[in-house]
Chain A
Amino acid sequence: MPLSEHDLAAIRLTLELASLTTVLLLVVGTPIAWWLARTRSRLKGAIGAVVALPLVLPPTVLGFYLLVTMGPHGPIGQLTQFLGLGTLPFTFAGLVVASVFYSLPFVVQPLQNAFEAIGERPLEVASTLRAGPWDTFFTVVVPLARPGFITAAILGFAHTVGEFGVVLMIGGNIPEKTRTVAVQIFDHVEAMEYAQAHWLAGGMVLFSFLVLFALYSSRRFKAGLS
């Protein structure tokens, strides 16, 4: 077996983290993307920029601020302590919260594009057919934006799997709790265990390629149809 028990634990943890993060991202990202797609508010530019910040900031910057705000003296940290939850840094939950921020643009942007592409008309049609706003959202918007949701989920998942800096800053390196595949590879390399590193790193390359391949070929397929 080329993969050690620690490697397998890291893979399992990574998949758990990415799955949970993706679900939360869709829940949080959908209303943000909807608002960005439909609003005429002057705040649109500012909110859009904030959502996109993780695209350009070094993960350490994001990690640093998250660490501060979620730490015992930060506002979020005080809140979680008040609620009897302790503090989030160096826990799996903290890692999930950080990942949601970190991968947010990868979910919001495809959703926003999908919502914008639908346009006003189908919503108006639905309203003339007696569908209220929520009804319209679930029966018209979600089905029409399905490719956007799929893209958003895939990108959110893949990007969370591939994060490193934020994990290290927020999660540290605790086996079974916060040690993801990316961190595990770092450990292997540090310990000069290149063979072990190869297996995990190669696996990541393959995984990422397959994800992107699936994404790009389905896009081309769709473009060919319309």
Chain B
Amino acid sequence: MNTSFEPGTKGETGALSGGLPADGIRARFRVDYAGFALDVDLTLPGHGVTALFGHSGSGKTTLLRCVAGLERAAEARLEINGELWQDSAAGVFLPTHRRALGYVFQEASLFPHLSVRRNLEYGMKRVDAASRQVSWERVLELLGIGHLLERLPGRLSGGERQRVGIARALLTSPRLLLMDEPLAALDLKRKNEILPYLERLHDELDIPMLFVSHLPDEVARLADHVVLLDQGRVTAQGSLQDIMARLDLPTAFHEDAGVVIESVVAEHDDHYHLTRLAFPGGAVLVARRPEAPGQRLRLRVHARDVSLANSRIEDSSITNVLPATVREVVEADTPAHVLVRLEAEGTPLIARITRRSCDQLGIAPGRRMWAQIKAVALLG
């Protein structure tokens, strides 16, 4: 795992993208608008999900639109897995409709005058039959929209509309899927309805995705790789686990701050109805999962759900306690709290505790402690 990311460094992820020049996304854009400038130079993995993360106004959407060719940057070079899409120095600019991409907008933006079926066919029909790699049946099944085909977009719920929008983009067999906060316009219930579909895309399709989000939990669920943007510049990038475990980034100060752990289903306890999930450095017990042993599950442990103790407390109702070493203590978003980064045999943890506890327990780098995990969120 690459852990050498520094804020502001560029193109350091070559190792993650496989090293070959043909595999990977190289994007260099410079845009100067009145009051806003975007200046990025990125090398991203040519597979998996990359999240562009930052708050509003950080340039995530502008970057995505530049990649799509919807925005024309004054200075630009864009190469997608060996294909040159744009090079301002050489006067190359492939217009959007010639770029093999799929774009999912914040609002589904279905054509209101066409049925769901004809919306889906719109892009598919415009791609040569020879380059269609995503099958109609597969996409309908993947997004669960087979029963909606004859409806007009006006008769769909927000979640259904967004699923159709994603399916429509996928049916063009894109070489790159761009998603601009596809969940932002949805309420929590619809979000939870659509997230599993996005996770299935991630697991089952081999299409690289660029995904814009401002919510750490969403990023934690879907991304493999994270690019942090602030005021039009890249402040950090790296694997999801690395970025989420860092205390020097704004992600750490979000109310949903916390680490991501890739675990494997170890065993089921049918008596207590629990499942043990193992990862380097330990294991946690969670309520019984349907997955078979050996399957991978992504866990999220929020900083607010981790408390620390100097000795193992046996008379506590908290089941999940891990031995860990303190690596770093930094100030949190309020003067009453601190953030503590720990390591349990290679697995990072962050705890958000009061400064008072920190002083009373004598927490300092190097100290061995017990991390009590009050809650674990399973990200599928």
Using CB atoms and an 8 Å cutoff, list the residues of chain A in contact with chain B: 121-122, 124-132, 135, 139-140, 143-144
CB atoms of A128 and B101 under 8 A apart: yes
Q: With contacts defined as CB atoms under 8 Å apart, how many contacts are there between chain A and chain B in the complex? A: 55
Q: B107-115, B143-151, B188-196: which one contacts chain A?
A: B107-115
Taking a contact as CB atoms closer than 8 A, the residue among A122, A129, A132, A143 that contacts B123 in the complex is A129
Q: Is the CB of A128 within 8 A of B113?
A: no
A-B pairs with beta carbons under 8 Å apart, 11 shown:
A124-B96, A124-B103, A125-B111, A128-B103, A129-B122, A130-B97, A130-B123, A130-B126, A131-B122, A139-B122, A143-B113
Task: Return chain A residues, CB-CB under 8 Å to B29.
Answer: none
| Binary CB contact string for chain B from 98 to 140 against chain A (1 if under 8 A, 0 otherwise) | 1001110100010111000000001100110000000000000
Which of chain A's residues have a CB closer than 8 A to the CB of B68?
128
B 20-48 binary contact with A (CB < 8 Å = 1; else 0): 00000000000000000000000000000
Instruction: Determine the distance from Cα of A94 to Cα of B172 in the docked complex, in whole angstroms.
Output: 51
Query: Which residue of chain B is the closest to A143 with respect to CB atoms?
Result: B113
Contact residue range for chain B?
20 to 34
Chain B CB count within 10 A is highest, among A121, A122, A125, A128, for A128
- Closest chain-A Cβ to B13's Cβ sits at a distance in Å of 26
A127 touches B95 (CB 8 A): yes
Check B330 for interface membership: any CB of A closer than 8 A: no
Tell me if B244 is interfacial: C-beta within 8 Å of chain A: no
Interface class of chain A by DSSP: helix
B105 touches A144 (CB 8 A): no
Residues of B within 8 A of A139 (CB): 122
> Judging by beta carbons under 8 Å apart, are A129 and B95 in contact?
no
* Structural contact, A121 and B127, CB atoms closer than 8 A: no
Q: Which residues of the other chain, A, contact B102 by a CB distance below 8 angstroms? A: 128
Query: Could you say which of B70, B98, B111, B122 contacts A124, with CB atoms under 8 Å apart?
Result: B70
Best-surrounded residue of B68, B97, B103 (most CB of chain A within 10 A)? B97
Task: Write the chain A residue with the least CB distance to B178.
Answer: A128
B259 at the interface (CB under 8 A from A): no
| B112 contacts A125, C-beta separation under 8 Å | no
Bound form: Cα–Cα A143–B113 in Å: 7
B301 within 8 A of A: no
When distances are taken between beta carbons in the complex, the residues of chain A under 8 Å from B69 are: 127
**Is A129 a contact partner of B168 (Cβ separation < 8 A)?**
yes
B109 touches A130 (CB 8 A): no
The smallest C-beta distance from B67 to any residue of chain A, in angstroms, reads 11
Partner of A132, one of B97, B103, B127, B172: B97
Give the complex CA separation of A125 and B110 in angstroms. 8
B226 interfacial by beta-carbon distance below 8 Å = no
Q: What is the distance, in angstroms, from B34's C-beta to the closest C-beta of chain A?
A: 14
Q: Which residues of chain A are within 8 angstroms of B168 by Cβ–Cβ distance? A: 129
Contact of A125 among B95, B98, B101, B105 (CB under 8 A): B105
- Given the known inter-chain contacts A128-B96, A128-B169, A129-B168, please indicate yes or no for A122 contacting B109, CB distance below 8 A: yes
In the assembled complex, how far is the CB of residue A223 from the closest CB belonging to chain B, in whole angstroms? 15
| Complex contact A129–B172 (CB within 8 A) | yes
Q: Output the least CB separation between A142 and chain B (Å).
A: 10
| Residues of chain A within 8 A of B97, CB atoms compared | 126-132, 135
Tell me how far the C-beta of A68 lies from the nearest C-beta in chain B, rounded to whole angstroms.
45
